[in-house]
Amino acid sequence: MLGNTEDKREQYRLMRDAMKKRFIRVTLGSIVGGVRLGMFTAAFYGFQNILAEQRGVHDVFNVVGAGSATTSAFGLICWLHLKLIETANEGNQAANENLDKRDIKSGVSAAIERLESNLHK
């Protein structure tokens, strides 16, 4: 796990680097999760306030409607994200087989170009 080195300084450096990578990964995951939760909460309360304003009453149906709209919106976003990643992965496999190495584009930009070309057909 720490390597086959007998040098204590090298082992310490390897352990420190591993802990630093873990800390960064956990911190980044926490920040991304917090942003997602904040966006979901803001969208939910925004939909709830819009419904309350439009209907002129504060009741449980506003909560149900806001929850349904927020979940639908975020579900659609997740579905689009997964489709984009899937398209990017398919494109990378095809690009690696058919194109010269210098012509290969990154996954997301290749996927966007393919989606645009499909729309123009």
**DSSP readout, 29-77?**
HHHHHHHHHHHHHHHHHHHHHHHHHHHS--SHHHHHHHHHHHHHHHHHH
Say if CB 2 and CB 14 are below 8 A apart.
yes
User: Apex CA 73: angle with CA 72 and CA 76, to 5°?
Assistant: 85
pLDDT tens per residue across all 121 residues of the chain: 555 667 888 888 888 999 999 999 999 999 999 999 999 999 999 999 999 999 999 999 999 999 999 999 999 999 899 998 888 888 776 656 655 555 556 666 777 777 777 777 6
> Rg for the chain (alpha carbons), in Å?
24
Q: What is the mean pLDDT of the chain?
A: 84
For position 94, what pLDDT does the model report? 62
